[in-house]
Amino acid sequence: MIRDITALGDLLQVEELEKTVWALSDQDVMPLTLIIASKEAGNIWLGAFDGDKLVGFAFGFLGRENGRTMIHSHMLAVRESYQDLDLGYKLKLTQRDRALAMGIRQMTWTFDPLQSKNAHLNFAKLGVVSRTYKTDFYGPETSSLLHRNSTDRLWVEWRLTSKHVQQRLQGKDGRAEVLEVLSRLQPLVQFDGSGEPARTELGAALGRQRICIEIPTDINSVQRKDPELAREWRQATRWAFTEALQAGFFVAEFCRSVRGNQGPGAYVLQKGTVEEFIPEF
Ligand SMILES: CC(C)(COP(=O)(O)OP(=O)(O)OC[C@H]1O[C@@H](n2cnc3c(N)ncnc32)[C@H](O)[C@@H]1OP(=O)(O)O)[C@@H](O)C(=O)NCCC(=O)NCCS
């Protein structure tokens, strides 16, 4: 069940869940005093509960971007044994409802572009877009196990009332169309036969209208087995996103498993503006 987090006991469970999901040290978890103050000041704290047990949460705070008030969703987490059951998705939908009730139509957040699951949730299920790549967003590393291979992030925009988002929320994930587009694209970074990232020639790629960037299906297992290979993926994708976004592309889609079940996923980047892609916002 998804509901607002209000009681002190529930807020205390947030700290424990943060430590479990990100393996954060005491120094890096959010102080309880800040959690309480941010909640009292009207920011959005949502929990997914199994009985009284907190099994997931989402925290978003008010921010400003390009002169508009928006919600920046700082944290979304689901306990490992409850993952892949749509809880992350449902927490985002409830966050969207709360934002709309506040008269807010735009949400932002960041995620690690090497995380295929997050990319699928964000682009395919929710319909975000991105025009900004942040190198070492939280610094070179933190105490989190998920922050060992630098902390690069895509800054995503979720245009809550747009047709694009509404279609995604109706279950139209656009996979067939995206796969068709991908079949005609030369990846800027490609998953080669041995699992390494192969780069293509930049000049020719940036002259095209669309390009794609591939990522492994499970970067966390690459990180565990071969941290050097995970670093190569970071370097290659950092290069590709940075060059493409600077050259006037934005990230429009992500499609998982583009070459069979264990195949890599691929981002589709398109030349033009987010405003043209989502004109009705
Ligand atoms: C990201 C997170 C919140 C998602 O929560 P969740 O409840 O598992 O998400 P959902 O079940 O709603 O959606 C997951 C989707 O990814 C899919 N998925 C699972 N593994 C995948 C992979 N390796 N590649 C692509 N998609 C994958 C699932 O099948 C599901 O999609 P579907 O419903 O279309 O089949 C959760 O994994 C988590 O807590 N991760 C660690 C912390 C984190 O990264 N937080 C977000 C950034 S702050």
How would you classify residue 59: left for phi > 0, otherwise alpha for psi between -120 and 50, otherwise beta? beta
* Domain boundary assignment for the chain: 1-104, 109-281
Q: Which residue puts its alpha carbon closest to atom 25 of ligand 1? A: 117
Q: Which of 59, 117, 254 to mutate to test the pocket of ligand 1 (most atoms within 8 A of CB)?
A: 117
Is the pLDDT confidence value at 55 over 70? yes
- pLDDT for 279 equals 74
Long-range contacts of 81-84 (CB under 8 A, 24+ apart): 82/48, 82/50, 82/55, 82/56
Q: Which residue puts its alpha carbon closest to atom 10 of ligand 1? A: 86
Q: Which of 83, 138, 191 to mutate to test the pocket of ligand 1 (most atoms within 8 A of CB)?
A: 83
CATH 3.40.630.30 fits 1-104, yes or no: yes
CB 223 within 8 A of CB 204: no
Rounded Cα gap, residues 53 and 50, in angstroms: 5
Ligand 1 site, residue 88, Cβ cutoff 6 A? yes
The pTM score is 0.96
Q: Which residue puts its alpha carbon closest to atom 48 of ligand 1? A: 75
- pLDDT per position as a tens digit, 90-143: 999 999 999 999 999 999 999 999 999 999 999 999 999 999 999 999 888 777
In the reported structure, the alpha carbon of residue 78 is separated from the centroid of ligand 1 by a whole-number distance in angstroms of: 9
**Taking residues 21-25, what's their average pLDDT?**
86
**Which atom of ligand 1 is found nearest the CA of 124?**
34
